[in-house]
Chains A and B, each alone.
Chain A
Amino acid sequence: MRFVDYIALAFRNLGRQKLRSFLTVLAIIIGATSVTIMLALVTSIKSFFLQEFNATGQIRQIAVTQATDLTYGQARYGGGGSRSGVKLTDEMLGGIKKLPHVANASPQVGLYMFDSVNYKDKKLSVSNFQAYEPNDVLSYDVIAGRNLTEQDQAGSVTLTAEYADKLGFKGQYQQLVGKQITLQTVPGYTGAGANLPPSPLAARVAEPPPLATNLSATVVGVVGSQTGQAAMYFPLAWARGLLQTQDWKVTNGKAALVATDNLAKTGYQTITVAADAAENANGVAQRIRDQFGVGASTAQDFIKKQLAIFNIIGYVLGGIGGISLAVAAVGVVNTMVMATMERTREIGVMRAVGAKRATISRLFTLEASLLGLLGGVLGIAIGYAMVTVANPLVNKQLAANGISAKDIVILPPWLVVGVIIVTTLIGMLAGLYPARRAAKLNPVEALRHE
């Protein structure tokens, strides 16, 4: 029998019991759709996660900390941990930048001198102020305006969408760009721009209360957050001034202000180092650990761990979908066994006029495979439709959370091909037993079958 004839005959036979074939295919469609959707979701989350790591350059970054026992996540997002180890100095920063495979590095430090952020009548308490050296190492997703640059000095900040929302700019972040906000310091602040207490030698009526200072800053950009945490970002150049303390010192009867560079004293909280390529990140981290005795961790382990978690989720979800496919396979077996029973006489006639056992077997296997193929193709089609519908909804949700990524739900080609192959194979396997049954029928008895 020629291949095209097999296909045509198989289709004709399936068409003879339209309702039954449809119901059998429907079960496969349900299984294929659920597998498709679940795996598409996991794949999308995975690729979105990797994309974000790539886009922000984190995939090739090393977080350098004083503490030597931190994971990447703790080092990068946990504020750098204790400051009991080797200080992260400018000298070290220079040394790191000179290491082979290091593209650049950006030191960071947290700022704790602010009490609140005010804009017009809005006053919000902000707990996460981060300063970094704006270069190509750290670049946040820009939602409106721009990232900080090396030209930015005192008075420029960026903030994440969450803070922008609280300042009353939800959904109109562009409006916030260029606006002046007021940063109110804690009382007793004596850094750059502070309202300093009067000289101790000046005539005074009573002990002056500790003074708070209002500093003004221009919002140059609204950016995405890498951790989902709200944050306000400062250029490092400004942070040095903000972190300094000024004290009156009286020598020889004269009072003078003495400034202390606290940043130099404590060192940086973390230094984020960018390797020239992702595959060199681990090597560079090792080098930094060996050479400077500091903690250095890469995103790679973190990514690996995250991906492993996603994979497990994928297996579980895929398994749930797989169960429905298994149920569908039982449906195929049932349908095909029924078909062999109903068509016993027909099989007898086919054998009498020259069909081989192998021909009958192939025909039934093919019919079952076709059920699987149809279910797979239609399941993918429905999955595709669902993805198409889901993306605009997800985009809305992402935008509302200040994430600039779009159309993240994807149906990768391997999944499309994979699902179709798997359902076809399932159909084929489910057809093997009925096909064997049909082929093994004794033609003489089959012809006598009522």
Chain B
Amino acid sequence: MIQLDHITRTYRLGDEVIHALNDVSFSVRPGEFVAIIGPSGSGKSTLANIIGGLDRPTSGTVIVDGNNLSKDRDTKLSEYRNHHVGFIFQSFNLQNDISALDNVMMPLLFSKIRRAERRKRAQECLRAVGLADRMKHKATELSGGQRQRVAIARALAVRPSIIIADEPTGNLDTARGQEIMTLLKNLNKKGMTLLVITHDLTVAKQASRVVQILDGRLQERKV
């Protein structure tokens, strides 16, 4: 369960105060697939980052799976990210000089899991995204679609309850993008809450619910 209560997030840009989020209240039930749309700079990434525990609101409360993210300190937020959230980025953000397997094992480093177990889990995740035969490849040796699948496997490694994908198809062609969306929808069907940030309406249409952010304010949208 994700619960946001009167969230405001402001930035200072020189003398100017920018309201990335302005009094946003919003909740997501477990297992929902929510698309967050809006023009660039509208604050949709800020919303995702706050839900993912990467950023903290200036005011308001965020409670995810019983964790009060607006109050928690860095250590607790890090543990929250390490146990509840899988991030997927537009530009994949893989480490290019190590293997796909090492990339997927990386988040498990921070949960004090032994190497053998890390390897086993990472292999499972890579198989789940259909990359069983690409584990030893470096990121630079993979196509864009394959890279994003490695990134999904990395997100899955910590067995998250929430997947936050920020423009997951933004760097891919339509066909590859759709493959990624199918993969994400399947994860959603298995019970994971899925938040997809996009400005691509064909992606948004696949969600069970769409919210739009405009100038820091959130509104539900019919699709």
Residues of A within 8 A of B (CB): 1-2, 4-5, 9, 12, 16, 345-346, 348-359, 443-444, 447
A356 x B109 contact (CB < 8 A)? no
- How far does the alpha carbon of A443 sit from the alpha carbon of B87 in the complex, in Å? 12
- How far does the alpha carbon of A340 sit from the alpha carbon of B178 in the complex, in Å? 36
Residues of B within 8 A of A349 (CB): 93, 95, 106
The yes or no answer to B49 lying at the interface (CB within 8 A) is yes
Name the contact of B87 in the complex, choosing from A12, A16, A352, A356 (C-beta under 8 A).
A352
Residues of A within 8 A of B112 (CB): 1-2
Residue of A at shortest CB range from B52? A352
Given contacts A357-B74, A358-B75, A444-B54, contact A350 B115 (CB under 8 A): no
Chain B interface extent, by class: 20 to 34
A354 x B93 contact (CB < 8 A)? no
Please list 25 pairs of residues, one from A and one from B, whose beta carbons are closer than 8 Å in the complex, sorted by A's number: A1-B110, A4-B115, A12-B98, A345-B93, A346-B95, A349-B95, A350-B106, A351-B54, A351-B78, A351-B81, A352-B54, A352-B81, A353-B81, A353-B158, A354-B107, A354-B110, A354-B111, A355-B82, A355-B109, A356-B110, A357-B75, A359-B78, A444-B49, A444-B54, A447-B89
- How far does the alpha carbon of A1 sit from the alpha carbon of B107 in the complex, in Å? 10
Given contacts A1-B109, A16-B97, A346-B95, contact A353 B54 (CB under 8 A): no
Residue of A at shortest CB range from B95? A346
Shortest beta-carbon distance, A86 to chain B, in Å?
A: 82
Using an 8 Å CB-CB cutoff, how does the interface string of B85-111 with A read, 1 for contact, 0 for none?
001010001010110000000110111
- How far does the alpha carbon of A238 sit from the alpha carbon of B55 in the complex, in Å? 99
Known A354-B78, A354-B107, A357-B74; 12 more pairs at CB < 8 Å? A5-B115, A350-B110, A351-B54, A351-B81, A352-B87, A353-B82, A353-B106, A354-B110, A355-B78, A355-B109, A356-B74, A357-B78
Shortest beta-carbon distance, A169 to chain B, in Å?
A: 70
Shortest beta-carbon distance, B149 to chain A, in Å?
A: 16
A353 x B110 contact (CB < 8 A)? yes
The yes or no answer to B199 lying at the interface (CB within 8 A) is no
- How far does the alpha carbon of A359 sit from the alpha carbon of B75 in the complex, in Å? 10
Shortest beta-carbon distance, A352 to chain B, in Å?
A: 5
Closest 8 CB pairs of A and B: A354-B82, A353-B107, A356-B78, A354-B110, A352-B87, A354-B81, A349-B93, A355-B110
Interface residues of B in 179-209 (CB under 8 A from A): none
Residue of B at shortest CB range from A9? B109
The yes or no answer to B83 lying at the interface (CB within 8 A) is yes
Residues of B within 8 A of A358 (CB): 75
- How far does the alpha carbon of A345 sit from the alpha carbon of B94 in the complex, in Å? 9
- Most chain A CB within 10 A, of B49, B98, B109, B111, is at B109
The yes or no answer to B44 lying at the interface (CB within 8 A) is no
The yes or no answer to B220 lying at the interface (CB within 8 A) is no
Residues of B within 8 A of A357 (CB): 74-75, 78
- How far does the alpha carbon of A4 sit from the alpha carbon of B109 in the complex, in Å? 10
The yes or no answer to B65 lying at the interface (CB within 8 A) is no
Residues of A within 8 A of B109 (CB): 1, 5, 9, 355
Residue of B at shortest CB range from A12? B98
- How far does the alpha carbon of A356 sit from the alpha carbon of B54 in the complex, in Å? 11
Shortest beta-carbon distance, B50 to chain A, in Å?
A: 10
The yes or no answer to B5 lying at the interface (CB within 8 A) is no
Residues of B within 8 A of A (CB): 49, 52, 54-55, 74-75, 78-79, 81-83, 87, 89, 93, 95, 97-98, 106-107, 109-112, 114-115, 154, 158
Residues of A within 8 A of B93 (CB): 345, 348-349, 352, 447
Shortest beta-carbon distance, B102 to chain A, in Å?
A: 9
- Most chain A CB within 10 A, of B106, B110, B111, B115, is at B110
Residues of B within 8 A of A5 (CB): 109, 115
Shortest beta-carbon distance, A445 to chain B, in Å?
A: 10
A354 x B52 contact (CB < 8 A)? no
A354 x B75 contact (CB < 8 A)? no
- How far does the alpha carbon of A327 sit from the alpha carbon of B89 in the complex, in Å? 41
- How far does the alpha carbon of A346 sit from the alpha carbon of B91 in the complex, in Å? 12
Name the contact of A353 in the complex, choosing from B55, B74, B87, B115 (C-beta under 8 A).
B87
Residues of A within 8 A of B54 (CB): 351-352, 443-444, 447
Shortest beta-carbon distance, B21 to chain A, in Å?
A: 13
Residues of B within 8 A of A443 (CB): 54-55
- How far does the alpha carbon of A1 sit from the alpha carbon of B81 in the complex, in Å? 15
Shortest beta-carbon distance, B56 to chain A, in Å?
A: 10
B82 x A444 contact (CB < 8 A)? no
Residues of A within 8 A of B83 (CB): 354
- How far does the alpha carbon of A358 sit from the alpha carbon of B77 in the complex, in Å? 13
Residues of A within 8 A of B97 (CB): 16
Residue of B at shortest CB range from A359? B110
Residue of B at shortest CB range from A357? B74
Given contacts A1-B109, A2-B112, A5-B115, contact A354 B95 (CB under 8 A): no
Shortest beta-carbon distance, A21 to chain B, in Å?
A: 14
A353 x B79 contact (CB < 8 A)? no
A354 x B158 contact (CB < 8 A)? yes
- How far does the alpha carbon of A355 sit from the alpha carbon of B115 in the complex, in Å? 17
Shortest beta-carbon distance, A83 to chain B, in Å?
A: 84
Shortest beta-carbon distance, A436 to chain B, in Å?
A: 14
Residues of B within 8 A of A444 (CB): 49, 54-55
Residues of A within 8 A of B154 (CB): 353
- Most chain A CB within 10 A, of B54, B79, B82, B98, is at B54
Shortest beta-carbon distance, A58 to chain B, in Å?
A: 62
- How far does the alpha carbon of A5 sit from the alpha carbon of B102 in the complex, in Å? 13
Residue of A at shortest CB range from B45? A444
A354 x B79 contact (CB < 8 A)? yes
Shortest beta-carbon distance, A345 to chain B, in Å?
A: 6
- How far does the alpha carbon of A12 sit from the alpha carbon of B97 in the complex, in Å? 10
- How far does the alpha carbon of A353 sit from the alpha carbon of B80 in the complex, in Å? 9
- How far does the alpha carbon of A350 sit from the alpha carbon of B114 in the complex, in Å? 18
Residues of A within 8 A of B106 (CB): 349-350, 353
Shortest beta-carbon distance, A115 to chain B, in Å?
A: 85
